[in-house]
Chains A and B, each alone.
Chain A
C-alpha cells in the first residue's frame, strides 16, 4: 500500500453561469479530451478504471452513474460513482492505484446547475423531513446559523468575513476561468441586502456550470505520461452527524474539516501545516467558511483567521496565499465538482501553469472541499511536486 500516486492530467470545460450550447455529455467529453491530451495524449483505451462523483437529484436522473461511460471513453470498463464531493471520488480513484488493482484511473465531476428550476428547493429536500422541513425556510438559514455561531465563538467580525469576499473576487480577476471576478469594496458586502442574518447576498458564491476530469497514475506510469507529475501526498475525509441541532462541536466549528485534515496531514507526514504547506485552495462557498475552514485545518488558531486575513497573510503575496484562483466566491460554485476545482487550481500552481496568478517557489499545496449545506462533510488533499 506504499505505492505513490500522481496526477498526470487535468482538463475542464464549461465554466459559465449557463451552458446551453453543450449537453452534459458533450461538456464532459470536452473536459476528458483536454485531460487525456494533457497526459501525453493517452487514449482512454489505456485507462484502467473511472470514478465519477455525482448526485442523482442534481442531474435529474436516477442512477446517474449508469450515464457516465460514453463521454469519458469508459464504455466496457470498470466504472463507479461516488455520491459525494469530487475529492471523495478522487480518494476512491487513488485507492484503486494504491492497492495495485489499477495503474491509471480517471476521476470526473460536473455541474449543470443551470438546468434546475429551483436549486434552493433541492437543498431543502436534503434536510431532515421531521425536524427541519416543517419550518419551510429558505435553506440558506443554515449558513446564517453557522456564521452567527462562528462569529460568536471566535470573535471574528462581520467585516473580516466581507474581506474574504473582496479578496477572492479581486483574485478572480487574474483567473480567466473565474466567472465572478470584481473589484468591490468592503461596504459593498456589508451593506448588501441580508439573506439570512448575518449572511448577506455577497457572502455566498454564485452558481457555475462546468466539468473537470483528472487522470491519476501509479509512479511507474506517471513517469511515462508526463514530465510534471503532481503527487498526492495525503488525503482524508470525514462526516459529522447530519443533525443541525446536535453537531458534535456545534454549528460554529467545522469538525469535518479538522478530522479530514488530520488524516491527510498524518499521511503526508506534515506536523506544522502552516510552515510545511506553501498555499491552499479552501472551500469558500460562503465567506465565513474560508475563515472557519482555515482554523479547522489547523493553519491558524481559533479566532485568528480573520486577524491574519486583515494583515494580508492570505493574500497572493502574503505568507500563506489562500484561494489565489478566486475560490468559489470569485470563480463560481461547481457543486459536486467543487473539490476538483480546488484541486485543479492547486495542480496548476504546482506545475507553474497558473498564468498571471502564478505563485513563486511553491512545492506543496492543500486543496480542501466541503459538500455545502446542509452537509457536514469535507475532504482534504495534500499535493506536492516531490514524490
Chain B
C-alpha cells in the first residue's frame, strides 16, 4: 500500500528518526488503579453468579423484573428491594461476529471469531437480560430469536464475575 502513496514534497519521517532520538517525544503512562465499590445490587448479582444462579430485582410499580438487578427503578425512581431468581436460559436478541481482536488485528485463519450477543433472559422483563458471548455454535448457525442456555464454569473456578458463565449455547 505504501508504494502507492506519492510524496508531493517535504521530507518523510521514518521509524528510525524517532528511535534514534532525532525527533523528540515524551512518554508517560497513568499510574493509578481503580477498585470500584460494587454496592448492594451488583454485589448480590455477582454473589449469586458464583453460586450458579441469576438473580434480578423487581419494581413494585412498573412490575419489571430487572436484569442486571438494581436497587432502584430508573424509570419509576423508587427503591426496589425485592429480589427474584430468573432462568439461566433465554433468546438471542442481537449478536455480532468479531473478525478482529480488541486491537483491530485480524483473527487467524484457524481462529474462531468471538460471538458477543445480548440474551433476553427467561423470567426477566421483555428486553432485559445479559450481554454475553455465544459458544458451541458455528457463526452461520446463529439466528436472532434463537434459544440459548448458560454454560457455567465449574463451581471451584467461579469468582463472582460475569465470566462465571462461560458462554451461552443453543438449546
Contacts from A to B (Cβ < 8 Å)? 19-27, 29, 33, 36, 43-45, 57, 60, 69-71, 73, 75, 112, 114-119, 121-122, 124-125, 129-130, 133-134
A-side contacts of B26, CB under 8 Å? 129-130, 133-134
B-side contacts of A124, CB under 8 Å? 31
Q: How many residues of chain B have a CB within 8 Å of chain A?
A: 21
The reply on B77 being an interface residue by CB < 8 A is: yes
Also in contact, A21 and B31, with CB within 8 A (given A29-B71, A69-B74): no
Q: Contact check: which of A22, A24, A44, A117 meets B40 at CB < 8 Å?
A: A22
A-side contacts of B33, CB under 8 Å? 116-118
Q: Is the CB of A118 within 8 A of B31?
A: yes
Q: Is the CB of A21 within 8 A of B40?
A: yes
A-B contact count (CB 8 A): 81
Closest to A18 in B: B37
Q: Contact check: which of A24, A69, A71, A125 meets B30 at CB < 8 Å?
A: A125
Alpha-carbon gap, A116 to B32, bound state (A): 7
Closest to A74 in B: B74
Q: Is the CB of A133 within 8 A of B41?
A: no
Given contacts A24-B36, A116-B33, A134-B26, 16 further A-B contacts (CB under 8 A): A22-B40, A23-B37, A23-B41, A26-B40, A29-B71, A44-B77, A45-B77, A73-B74, A115-B34, A115-B36, A115-B37, A116-B32, A117-B34, A117-B35, A125-B28, A129-B26
Alpha-carbon gap, A36 to B40, bound state (A): 22
Q: Is the CB of A23 within 8 A of B42?
A: yes
Closest to B75 in A: A75
Alpha-carbon gap, A26 to B73, bound state (A): 11
B-side contacts of A26, CB under 8 Å? 39-41, 71-72
Q: Contact check: which of B28, B38, B70 meets A70 at CB < 8 Å?
A: B70
Closest to B43 in A: A23
Q: Is the CB of A118 within 8 A of B37?
A: no
A-side contacts of B72, CB under 8 Å? 26, 29, 70-71
A-side contacts of B41, CB under 8 Å? 23, 26
Alpha-carbon gap, A29 to B72, bound state (A): 8
Q: Is the CB of A75 within 8 A of B37?
A: no
- Residue in B30, B37, B41, B72 with the greatest tally of chain A CB atoms within 10 Å: B37
Q: Contact check: which of A19, A45, A121 meets B31 at CB < 8 Å?
A: A121
Q: Is the CB of A122 within 8 A of B40?
A: no
17 contacts between A and B (CB under 8 A): A22-B39, A23-B40, A24-B37, A25-B39, A26-B39, A26-B40, A44-B77, A45-B77, A70-B74, A71-B72, A115-B37, A118-B32, A119-B32, A121-B30, A125-B31, A125-B32, A134-B26
A-side contacts of B75, CB under 8 Å? 75
Q: Is the CB of A23 within 8 A of B30?
A: no
Closest to B30 in A: A125
Per-residue A-contact encoding for B54-72, CB less than 8 Å = 1, 0 else: 0000000000000000111
Alpha-carbon gap, A324 to B28, bound state (A): 42
Minimum CB–CB distance for A276 against chain B, Å: 40
Q: Is the CB of B74 within 8 A of A21?
A: no
Alpha-carbon gap, A316 to B32, bound state (A): 40
Closest to A45 in B: B77
B-side contacts of A36, CB under 8 Å? 77
Minimum CB–CB distance for A385 against chain B, Å: 30
Alpha-carbon gap, A71 to B74, bound state (A): 6
Alpha-carbon gap, A29 to B70, bound state (A): 11
Also in contact, A60 and B71, with CB within 8 A (given A21-B40, A23-B40): no
Alpha-carbon gap, A25 to B34, bound state (A): 16
Minimum CB–CB distance for B7 against chain A, Å: 29
**Residues of B2-43 contacting chain A, CB below 8 A:** 26, 28, 30-42
Alpha-carbon gap, A380 to B89, bound state (A): 55
Alpha-carbon gap, A204 to B70, bound state (A): 37
